Chains A and B, each alone.
Chain A
Amino acid sequence: MIAEIGHYALVLALGIALIQSVLPIWGVRTRDDALMAVAGPAALAQALFVAVSFAALTWCYVVSDFSVVNVFENSHSAKPLVYRITGVWGNHEGSMLLWVLILALFGALVGLFGRNLPRTLRANVLAAQSWIAAAFYLFILVTSNPFLRIAEAPLEGRDLNPLLQDIGLAVHPPLLYLGYVGFSISFSFAVAALIDGRIDAAWARWVRPWTLAAWMFLTLGIAMGSYWAYYELGWGGWWFWDPVENASLMPWLAGTALLHSAVVMEKRNALKVWTVLLAILTFSLSLLGTFLVRSGVLTSVHSFATDPTRGVFILMILVLFIGGALALYAWRAPMLKQGGLFAPISREGALVFNNLFLTTACATVFIGTLYPLALESLTAEKISVGAPFFNLTFGPLFAILLLAVPFGPLLAWKRGDLVGVAQRLLAAFAGALVAAAAVVAAQGGGPVLAPFAIGLAVFVMIGALVDLAERTALFRVPLAAAVARARGLPRAAYGTAVAHFSLGLVLLGIVGETQWNTERIVSLKPGATVSLAGYEVAFDGMVPRQGPNYRELAARFTVRRDGVVLGELAPSKRTFTARGTSTSEAALLTRGFSQVYVSLGDPNADGSIAVRLYHKPLVLLIWIGSVVMVLGGALSLSDRRLRVGAPKPARPKAGLQPAE
């Protein structure tokens, strides 16, 4: 019964979505307020019905209703409650339902908080949002219905893939989808602006907070996914340039570019046409990511061809929306009026530079991910494009971009002074040189790249601080005056500095992990000790344990440094009874930003066991930096100017116009 309610609610949501796709637009054409006003309540109702549908599926999982095929295939009654719930989106059908739930929630939020939008814009945005929703409801109902029943209900389910039975599944996909789907708002705003044929700085002011929020979720989602892979997969890798990862990186790169170009549009009324295009591209890449991951096209072109229903359906959605939006763009964009002029050396110029490099990086990932597919379907020639290619192409692009980061915020709008900015960055240059020299001295003949990369990271970090120091006139005016200025700075300025600073943190982490990583692969018997980058790791022994739905062999290690015990590590090897598969649970000991990482391999007949031990210096900075980046975004988002639904500030008195 519950499953049928869920199914029916989804059908109703589709019905409402269809109404919401048509009536508001019609209202805009006929200038009918009543029709336009349908959009808001319809968006709310849609969200409500999808939520009911999602809750129904969750209920089936919680009570282990194995008469529902989806639950039978992906759950097990012995699974802990939290994994029964997260298992809802640990499969294709459920994850698509989560996708549309988030889409509907974003629509409802625009309906709720968009009251200060112009009526026509709001109606158009919600209608565009609803087209996407309708297409995906239809997709779920036609090809991926999670509510199908089995005539004879089995007694037990097949369990969830053990790798997914982790708290990571509770965090990573929802965050990632909030990011992916959040960009649908920017997309809908862009489409609405194109339909209207009108766009101004106010549009950018509305779009920016939505884009920023989506970007924050996506950043966090990617970072959490990376940390999950790091500790779950057992060899300490955190980024693999896997097509599925690339699928999430592409919208992130485009979204980051969009954030920056929207700044230019809001402040200087320039780059309008480009910003609209980026908004369309960003969500298109999100759709592409969904297609790549959901269609099975990545595993092999052939597996896609053998069961093409889902893939072809999403491909049609993809073609319809991307093609439609781009056609609309080609038709209407020339009507958008161009805005303010600027010299190449200026804040605008720096942001254009940023966009050029981010879009190039995005295009590189795009081509690298899809090239093997294209080549194989055109010439039947099979090649692989993996990490070495991306490191070689993506790395230099990002290095140049990072080098430019400290310059951007210091340049003046319209016409900047590059030499002056370079002079103000002297402290950052000096810091970078000192750091690089220190690295050379410390590591002797170690990795060649490390000094450059560390220098770059320090340059970016000090550069961000210089930006704040310049804005508060620190060291140039008395301290009290500087503090007063610091109080008066808009939060967005702090957001910029914090986010840029975090880039340096992430880079430090990446350098530490890739350049100074120590690895030992050994067979150990209880009582043995391994030395690892100055630590002594002693293998104390193994005990078998019984978990709720697995058995495990848990080992115990003691980590010492100079004879002092620092902590114990308990990696384990789990065998899941239902599927007969096993996972290796790594154990981590954190020291500052560095970690000692131990994971178990196979036991040998002679009583020893294969063990991989790593020392990963600064590795935590990769994720701490990402979180700091999101905090920077949050600071910006909390800026009064951008706060969603904030009342408009009182009209400033003539002659008191604040300088930017």
Chain B
Amino acid sequence: MRRLRLVLLALALLHAPALAVQPDEVLPDPALEARARALSKELRCMVCQNQSIDDSDAPLARDLRVLVRERLAAGDSDTQVVDFLVARYGEFVLLNPRVGWHTALLWLAPAAVLIGGAIGLVVLIRRRRGANPTVAEQVAARTLTPEEEARLARLLDESGEPRP
């Protein structure tokens, strides 16, 4: 009786959603399998919410995993496999978007924000320094107003010292 229940439950579960990579999908060649795993981590399961086909238990993800392994076993390089999938499903399948005009903003953004922020900071610090400089900095930077310049020149002329 107990055994029967076990079998029945097992049968009921047969059609339940599977876990991600299944034992029967795994390639015999470990090097090839490792490449397949690395590739499938970068490919999107297109019917899921932001899951890679490596993580997903959807039937489509399984089909794609098998497909990737078939191509690899047939001797395709990683790029060839990716190109094949992009040709078939569009760039949507790539979790790591390709660099191009349509993604220029995306890829440049982090560096742009960082560099822009740093430049902004430097300018701000300079300007604030300029707004309230110390006396020594004023002298060093020679940031005198024209009136001050003129007065300095007059004083220097009167004292007969050589002009700076």
Binding site for B on A (CB under 8 A): 234-235, 237, 240-243, 298-299, 338, 341, 344, 352, 356-357, 359-360, 363-364, 367-368, 371, 375, 379, 381-389, 392-393, 397, 521-523, 542-544, 551, 553, 573, 575, 581-582, 584, 599-603, 605, 607, 609-610, 612
Contact = CB atoms under 8 A, between A and B. Distances in A.
Contact of A602 (B16, B26, B42): B16
A356 B95 contact: no
B5 A356 contact: no
B6 A371 contact: no
Contacts of A581: 16-17
20 contacts: A235-B55, A240-B50, A243-B50, A299-B49, A357-B114, A360-B114, A360-B117, A368-B106, A375-B102, A384-B44, A384-B92, A397-B110, A553-B6, A553-B9, A553-B10, A553-B13, A575-B9, A601-B18, A601-B22, A602-B16
Contacts of A386: 42, 44, 50, 52, 95-96
Interface of B is mostly: helix
Nearest to B133: A341
Interface in B78-122: 90-97, 102-103, 105-106, 109-110, 113-114, 117-118, 121
Interface in B1-56: 2, 5-6, 9-10, 12-14, 16-24, 26, 41-42, 44, 49-52, 55
A270 to B, nearest CB: 10
A575 B44 contact: no
A295 to B, nearest CB: 14
Contact of A371 (B26, B44, B96, B106): B106
B26 to A, nearest CB: 6
Contacts of A237: 55
Contacts of B92: 382-384
A542 B9 CA distance: 11
A356 B118 contact: yes
B9 A341 contact: no
Nearest to A382: B92
A575 B16 contact: yes
Most B CB within 10 A of own CB, among A240, A242, A386, A599: A386
Contacts of A243: 50
B32 to A, nearest CB: 15
Given A235-B55, A575-B13, A603-B14, A387 B95 contact: yes
A397 B51 CA distance: 24
A393 B110 contact: yes
Contacts of A584: 19
B6 A573 contact: no
Nearest to A523: B23
Nearest to B108: A367
B163 interface: no
A573 B16 contact: yes
Contacts of B113: 359-360, 363-364
Given A367-B106, A384-B50, A384-B95, 18 more contacts: A379-B102, A384-B44, A385-B106, A386-B42, A386-B44, A386-B50, A386-B52, A387-B41, A387-B52, A387-B95, A388-B41, A521-B21, A544-B6, A575-B13, A601-B23, A602-B14, A602-B19, A602-B22
Contact of A338 (B55, B105, B128): B128
B51 A240 contact: yes
Given A235-B19, A357-B114, A601-B19, A383 B10 contact: no
Contact of B90 (A344, A382, A522, A582): A382
A363 B109 contact: yes
Nearest to A553: B9
B82 to A, nearest CB: 12
Contacts of A600: 19
Most A CB within 10 A of own CB, among B10, B23, B51, B55: B23
B146 to A, nearest CB: 27
Contacts of A242: 49-50
B31 to A, nearest CB: 15
Contacts of A521: 21-23, 26
A341 B124 CA distance: 12
Contacts of A609: 10
Contacts of B103: 371, 375, 383
A384 B9 contact: no
A243 B50 CA distance: 8
B132 interface: yes
B138 to A, nearest CB: 15
Contacts of B102: 375, 379, 381, 383
Most B CB within 10 A of own CB, among A379, A387, A584: A387
Contacts of A551: 9, 12
Nearest to A367: B109
B144 interface: no
**CB-CB nearest 6 A-B residue pairs:** A386-B95, A388-B96, A601-B19, A603-B10, A582-B16, A523-B23
Given A338-B128, A341-B128, A382-B90, A371 B52 contact: no
A365 to B, nearest CB: 10
B111 to A, nearest CB: 9
B150 interface: no
B12 A575 contact: yes
Nearest to A363: B113
Nearest to B54: A235
B13 A610 contact: no
A289 to B, nearest CB: 15
B13 A383 contact: no
A385 B114 contact: no
B156 interface: no
B152 interface: no
A543 B14 CA distance: 16
A235 B20 contact: yes
Given A383-B94, A603-B13, A522 B117 contact: no
A599 to B, nearest CB: 7
Nearest to B16: A582
A385 B95 contact: yes
B45 to A, nearest CB: 10
Contact of A384 (B23, B55, B93, B114): B93
Given A242-B50, A243-B50, A602-B18, A522 B55 contact: no
A227 B149 CA distance: 69
Given A382-B91, A544-B6, A388 B110 contact: no
B125 interface: yes
Contacts of A359: 113, 117
Most A CB within 10 A of own CB, among B91, B96, B125, B129: B96
A364 B117 CA distance: 13
Contacts of B96: 386, 388-389, 392
A599 B20 CA distance: 11
A285 B21 CA distance: 36
A655 to B, nearest CB: 27
B117 A610 contact: no
Contact of B121 (A356, A523, A582, A603): A356
A341 B131 CA distance: 11
